[in-house]
């Protein structure tokens, strides 16, 4: 939004005027705050569905920008493989596929349709793979080495496609933030004493969920280099949670039930995860 409305400034009492980037970050936190207060995931599913459509629309707009008259086309100077970018690529790739923390909440919210959970995962990961691959290849062919850490930042704001893509990119995280933070908030709520009255328990829950949003805001304002930070999180944390630990737990908990081939495959997953985590970090 800072690229769309660079003149937007928040003026807080006793403080100098904030930059457009910081002003929009605070505004975004205020917008998503009420969605985090909602504890019913079935209500958030409708909001999340809007984010899915927004993601598909952003891909379509980016590709359209490449083919419209006056657009950059798909002829930028590119490299098929660059060794120095492998570590960052591993981290970013891991981060993009590390939504496992949401799975227990999704599974429990499916009610009588829990048997369809495996199919939902296959469809979801296939769709994500198609969207990410299309966006990555198309964006790199359009801008080459000039591609920003987020492809939408490379789009011109004076074009219809670029403007619409930026707006949808802003809306997209708002639609998914609450669903992503839900498991974290629920885990924090487990620390609250069950003996508290419903009023004080609800008040404390509201405070915890608000604190999570504020902590995200402070990290966003204080930590630069978005792509490197996401790469580090993907390599160090996401590989551990999404790749290494599930396979390692399967080896320990289900070691009697697993066949020799399954044990070998799980061990291979653990080794690959450790290697990716080390190289990426």
pLDDT tens digits for 149-175? 677 777 777 788 888 888 888 777 777
Report d(CA 1, CA 170) in Å as an integer: 7
CA–CA distances in Å: residue 255 to residues 47, 118, 239, 264, 270: 40, 22, 22, 11, 14
Residue 119, Cβ neighbours under 10 Å: how many? 10
Give one word for 70, left, alpha or beta, with left for phi > 0 and alpha for psi -120 to 50.
Answer: left
Element (H, E) at 88: helix 86-96
**Mutual angle of helices 117-143 and 41-67, in 10-degree steps:** 30
**Quick count: other Cβ atoms within 10 Å of Cβ 54?**
20
The percent of residues in the chain predicted with pLDDT above 90, rounded, is 4
What kind and span of H or E run contains 72? Answer: none
The pTM for the full model equals 0.67
104 conformational bin, left if phi > 0, alpha if psi -120 to 50, beta if neither: alpha
Query: How do residues 106-154 score in pLDDT, each as one tens digit?
Result: 777 777 788 888 888 888 888 888 888 888 888 888 888 777 767 777 7
- Supply φ then ψ for residue 127, to 5 degrees: -65, -40
Band (pLDDT 50/70/90 cuts) for residue 264 is very high
Reduced to 3 states, what is the DSSP secondary structure of residue 224? coil
């Amino acid at each position: 939004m800072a690229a769309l409305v660079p003149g937007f400034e928040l003026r807080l009492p006793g403080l100098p005027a904030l930059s457009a980037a910081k002003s929009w970050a605070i505004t975004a936190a205020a917008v998503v705050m009420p969605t985090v207060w909602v504890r019913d995931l079935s209500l958030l599913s409708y909001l999340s569905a809007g984010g899915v459509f927004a993601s598909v629309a952003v891909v379509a707009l980016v590709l359209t920008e490449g083919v419209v008259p006056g657009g950059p086309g798909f002829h930028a100077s590119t490299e098929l493989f660059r060794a120095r970018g492998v570590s960052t690529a591993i981290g970013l790739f891991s981060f993009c596929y590390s939504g496992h923390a949401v799975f227990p909440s999704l599974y429990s919210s499916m009610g009588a349709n829990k048997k369809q959970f495996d199919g939902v995962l296959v469809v979801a990961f296939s769709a994500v793979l198609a969207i990410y691959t299309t966006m990555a290849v198309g964006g790199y062919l359009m801008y080459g080495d000039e591609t920003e850490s987020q492809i939408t930042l490379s789009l011109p704001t004076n074009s219809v496609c670029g403007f619409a893509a930026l707006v949808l990119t802003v809306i997209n995280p708002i639609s998914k933030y609450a669903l992503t933070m839900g498991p974290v908030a629920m885990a924090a709520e487990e620390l609250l004493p069950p003996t508290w009255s419903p009023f004080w328990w609800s008040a404390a829950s509201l405070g915890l969920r608000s604190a999570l949003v504020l902590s995200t805001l402070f990290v966003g304002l204080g930590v630069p280099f978005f792509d490197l930070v996401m790469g580090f999180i993907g390599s160090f944390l996401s590989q551990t949670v999404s790749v290494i630990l599930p396979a390692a737990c399967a080896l320990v908990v289900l070691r009697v039930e697993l066949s020799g081939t399954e044990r070998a495959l799980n061990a291979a997953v653990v080794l690959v995860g450790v290697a990716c985590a080390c190289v990426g970090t």
